Amino acid sequence: MPGSAGRRLRVAPVALTVLLLIKVGFFLDRRAFLQFAAASPLIGSVPGTRSVPHYRICTRDSLPRGTSLPRRYPGQAVRVQADRAVNTASNTIDTPTVRTMLAKGMRELTGAEHDRDAWAGFISPHDVVGIKVNCSGAPQIHSSPELILAIVENLLAVGVKPQNIYIYDRFANQMQIVKYSECVAKGVQIATAEHSRGSILGYDPFTYVEVDFFGEDDTRSNLFRPVTEKFTKIINVPTMKEHRAAGVTGCLKNLAYGSFSNVARSHQREVSNTYSFIGTLASVEPLHSRTVLNVMDGLRSLWHGGPFLQSPQFLFYPKRIVLGTDPVAMDHFLIEMIEAKRKEEGAPSLFDRSPERLRKGPELDKNFNSFIREPGHVEYAGQLGLGIYNRAEIKEKIVQL
Amino acid sequence: MNNVFTPFLLPALLLPALFWPQGPETAPALRSAGIVDIAVPAAQAGSWKTVTAIKTQSIDLHQLTKAATPTVNFRTSNASATREPWVDSNGWRFLRQPGGRFHYDVPGKAAALAAAEAYAYGVQAVVKTDEAGLKPFGEMIRFLQSLPPGDAMPALFNFEYVDDGSPAAGEFMNLLVRTNLLFRVVKEPGSSGGMTVALGSAEYPKSEAGNPKLLAEKVRAHLTDEKRLLRVYGSDVVIGRLVGSEAHTRLFLLNYGAGHGGVDGIRVRVLGNFARQQMTQFQAPGTTLLDYKTGSGATEFTLAHLPVFAVIDLQR
């Protein structure tokens, strides 16, 4: 392809602790080793012994590079908490409160006195902005239209034209459930990659990650085409959920698995390659550099069985949004949130890799899961340079309304 | 490029015929479908002689090898080692008996796919179908007749497959075909000097014959994806076949899921740099290839839609 470049991804150096564990694992049987690894008291202290497949990244290099700053605030996250944000009795969200939460959070993150200045640090009037939502749990849990509305209002205030704002996700059938178009300004566009499941037409044939996980013949995962051809900036608006394969689904997974095709192939039986695939996908340009802001929707959440609400008992209401530019740090805090909730509910840790916890889904029992979860994907993404994972180097500011 | 040309020829006029066991009173239905050549049972041959504008030949189906209905079985209720749908392709049968004569018994729209499949593999075949299959079959025959000449275009392959004629070897071939691994069948190894695959060899022991999927994966790993003459992305139900030369290659693409609907978007990679291309597609005239790209020793393009069958000519 003229103007294209392929590059091979080098696996980041393996931490000494991992090597030590591999050595220990060498002398233990698999079950005993997994239990040993699961017994680690530190959250995400060890990525484990997962082998990393060979990834080949192909992307266009003739694209104009934006002036985006994906790590403008490395290691920082701002959590805005408001009890009145959600009426749990009626399961409804209070739009004015969400507006206030977003405004407070943006000002806290940027230090700006006014909302417009805060947003103008990320977005210019000439930008074409993709808002990456998450609809995989709709209609029970998804990026809240109330939050999307507030984001769109701020983009318009900066001067972005409505027709240059795209709310996007992969699957049309899931987007249709949420009906974002009914709550945002006229002219704002709804974009999806797959009108029929599995169709590759919405993806860029020249930008993909090629990898063979389980012998599947289709080894490519292609990037949503507007990311390479249309958007100049992306605002990532994930939900904050437990995920039965990835451990959690937050900034990184929403961006990665929500922008590339053919990703479900990474899980087979109890094995999930989310550990390395999520970070690898999220690192692909121009997706990485155009994603300038993450606004995590934690108004509602799931602590088990995610990404879909398999049972109402797993739904809970953190009543928060979290803002930042460092997806690794933000997802680290998400892991902490889900771990705390699971502990409160008496559920095993996300990092528990015990074979006896495996049971083919649905995940209706908090003690069992279909996959060995891979929350280590967040730390792995940190090793790829997508953000800071080390707990001592990251900070979450909390704003209580 | 690790491909070698086989002496197998693809006769341009080797068109499948309709096998029609019904009497001459059904001639209007045939004419309505545009069918002017049919094969009939010997017992019916006399009665058809008086019918005008329809040529007949008598055929004994018992002398022909039965081909399966080309289709896809999703088998969602069955546990399996993969999530891939099960493609019922006759490719391996045709490769095993390139000079064989075959007959299909397929209902409805599958008659069109059957005719295309036989044509793509260059075998003689008759297609028995029902009334619902007459129109699609007739349309496919006219489509095949309209194709640019492709006389004497040899099949292209990545490796030779030593076929011992056993059912296990046949199933191994079936999985290779379904994975779009292109091979030529030989009786003895080593005639091309290239890669050879044989069930019972050290690399592909008979003890693994119970898992032909695994064997096909081993072949693929041995060959490597980079060297594959053909890759299809975006669908598990499209099987391709390549004929021609390094200067002019013709690609046949068969959508085995046609009975379940067209395939929305496939990306194809063919080894070799081809500057010029032309696609002719059944039931989709005028469609063109998208995002065409050549370079690094390969050519890639996208088909926005593949209803049943496409023929793509690639030239340097």
Chain A residue at shortest CA distance from B303? A201
Residues A62-118 pLDDT 10s: 554 444 455 799 999 999 999 999 999 999 999 999 999 999 999 999 999 999 999
Write the CB contacts of A261 (distance below 8 Å, at least 6 apart in sequence). A170, A193, A194, A200, A202, A203, A220, A221, A222
Q: What is the CA radius of gyration of chain B?
A: 20
Chain A residues with CB inside 8 Å of B267's CB? 200, 205, 220
User: How many structural domains comprise chain A?
Assistant: 1
pLDDT higher than threshold 90 for residue B11: no
Judged by CB atoms closer than 8 Å, whether chains meet at A217 and B295 is answered as no
Percent of chain B having pLDDT more than 90?
Answer: 80
Chain B residues with CB inside 8 Å of A220's CB? 233, 267
Longest distance between any two alpha carbons in chain B, whole Å: 62
CA A254 to chain centre: 3
Q: What is the DSSP letter of B47?
A: H
| pLDDT score recorded for residue A30 | 32
Chain A residues with CB inside 8 Å of B266's CB? 200
> In this structure, are residues B244 and B276 in contact, taking their beta carbons and an 8 Å threshold?
no
Judged by CB atoms closer than 8 Å, whether chains meet at B265 and A2 is answered as no
Q: Minimal CA–CA distance to A247: which of A353, A158, A356?
A: A353
Chain A residue at shortest CA distance from B84? A216
Lowest model confidence (mean pLDDT) among A41-45, A199-203, B131-135, B167-171: A41-45
Helices and strands: H and E segment counts in chain A: 12, 19
Judged by CB atoms closer than 8 Å, whether chains meet at A206 and B293 is answered as yes
CATH H-level, domain B230-315: superfamily? Golgi alpha-mannosidase II (2.60.40.1180)
> What ipTM is given for this predicted complex?
0.88
The answer to whether residue B265 neighbours chain A at the CB level (below 8 Å) is yes
Percent of chain A having pLDDT more than 70?
Answer: 85
Judged by CB atoms closer than 8 Å, whether chains meet at B267 and A200 is answered as yes
Domain spans, chain B:
17-146, 159-223, 230-315
> In angstroms, what separates the C-alpha of A286 from chain B's closest C-alpha?
19
| pLDDT score recorded for residue A23 | 27
| pLDDT score recorded for residue B80 | 44
Q: How confident is the model at residue A60 (pLDDT cuts 50, 70, 90)?
A: confident
Residues A311-335 pLDDT 10s: 999 999 999 999 999 999 999 999 9
Residues B280-315 pLDDT 10s: 999 999 999 999 999 989 999 999 999 999 999 999
Chain A residue at shortest CA distance from B239? A217
Chain B residues with CB inside 8 Å of A193's CB? none
CB burial string A190-223: b at 16+ within 10 A, e below: bbbbbeeeebbbbbbbbbbbbbbebbbbbbbbbb
Chain A residue at shortest CA distance from B181? A217
The answer to whether residue B304 neighbours chain A at the CB level (below 8 Å) is yes
| pLDDT score recorded for residue B150 | 67
Judged by CB atoms closer than 8 Å, whether chains meet at A2 and B179 is answered as no
- Print the domain residue range for A362: 4-400
pLDDT higher than threshold 60 for residue B83: no
Chain A residues with CB inside 8 Å of B295's CB? 1-2, 4
| pLDDT score recorded for residue B4 | 34
Chain A residue at shortest CA distance from B268? A205
The answer to whether residue B225 neighbours chain A at the CB level (below 8 Å) is yes
CATH code of the domain covering residue A301: 3.40.50.11440
**pLDDT, averaged across chain A:** 87
Compute the C-alpha angle A275/A342/A174, nearest 5°.
60
Chain B interface disruption, residue of A60, A170, A200, most B CBs within 10 A: A200
Lowest model confidence (mean pLDDT) among A149-153, B12-16, B100-104, B255-259: B12-16
Judged by CB atoms closer than 8 Å, whether chains meet at B264 and A199 is answered as yes
Give the Å distances, CA to CA, from B252 to A147, A188, B279.
50, 42, 10
Sign of the torsion angle spanned by Cα atoms B42, B44, B49, B52:
negative
Residues A9-58 pLDDT 10s: 433 333 323 322 332 222 233 333 333 333 333 343 344 456 899 999 99
Predicted TM-score of the model (pTM): 0.88
Chain B residues with CB inside 8 Å of A212's CB? 225
| pLDDT score recorded for residue A20 | 28
Q: Which residue has the higher pLDDT, B75 or A101?
A: A101
Chain A residue at shortest CA distance from B294? A1
